């Protein structure tokens, strides 16, 4: 909690006003992610042999919303963004749904761990999450969960609705274009999700905590 300076009054938000701020934050960041997905994402270079962008600005926005406005806002923002992106994504509902599943997997782990902490007076959860050691631990746990979830998601998708595209997937990004199909999916999906998780967590951390945006809002 920021220090109260002489002449200033401490303002305690009501539950309803805080909820309104969380919803507003989720709506703004959700809309921003839709714009980023519609305008920026199509022009971002893709991982060779896959349909996945090298850097995903959408998930970065969703995680940033979580760090600033809290868990509820982060989840709501992700849902708003995923639904709003469906008309713009060439895969229809599949791409945004996979993106949502990947991001929620990263969010679930810190939610669980933060619930284990007994909140102390004057301490907000974002401060606990800001500690590099905690953030790394949560990030590794979230990444592990994301890899498992997305591996299963990829297998299901490429065995069903995207079956005709399965043989197009290769390990070209590893210098192994001859490896294709389900073998490439089983090897490549975990590596790609680990890479994207690192970016999805690191970039929002630097944007939010180095600029002290969390302290300016002090939502959670």
70 neighbors 219 (Cβ within 8 angstroms): yes
Packing angle of the helix pair 94-116, 181-209 (nearest 10 deg): 50
d(CA 74, CA 109): 13
* Stretches in the chain below the pLDDT threshold 50: 1-2, 4-11, 121-123
Task: Return the pLDDT at 7.
Answer: 43
Task: Return the pLDDT at 172.
Answer: 95
The SS3 call for residue 179 is: strand
Neighbours of 186 (CB within 10 A): 12
Residues counted in the chain: 220
């Amino acid at each position: 909690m920021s220090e109260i300076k002489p002449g200033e009054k401490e303002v305690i938000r009501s539950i309803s006003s805080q909820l309104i701020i969380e919803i507003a934050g989720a709506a703004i960041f959700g809309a921003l992610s839709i714009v980023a997905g519609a305008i920026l994402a199509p022009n971002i270079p893709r991982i060779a042999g896959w349909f996945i962008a090298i850097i995903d600005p959408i998930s970065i926005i969703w995680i940033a919303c979580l760090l600033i406005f809290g868990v509820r806002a982060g989840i709501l923002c992700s849902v708003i963004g995923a639904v709003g992106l469906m008309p713009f994504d060439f895969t229809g509902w599949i791409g945004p749904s996979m993106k949502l599943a990947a991001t929620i997997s990263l969010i679930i782990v810190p939610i669980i761990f933060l619930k284990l902490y007994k909140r102390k007076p004057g301490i907000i959860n974002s401060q606990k999450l800001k500690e590099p050691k905690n953030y790394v631990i949560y990030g590794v746990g979230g990444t592990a969960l994301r890899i498992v979830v997305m591996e299963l998601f990829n297998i299901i998708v490429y065995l069903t609705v995207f079956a005709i595209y399965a043989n197009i997937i290769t390990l070209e990004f590893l210098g192994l274009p001859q490896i294709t199909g389900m073998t490439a999916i089983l090897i490549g999906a975990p590596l790609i999700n680990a890479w994207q998780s690192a970016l999805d967590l690191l970039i929002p951390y630097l944007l939010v905590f180095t600029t002290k945006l969390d302290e300016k809002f002090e939502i959670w």
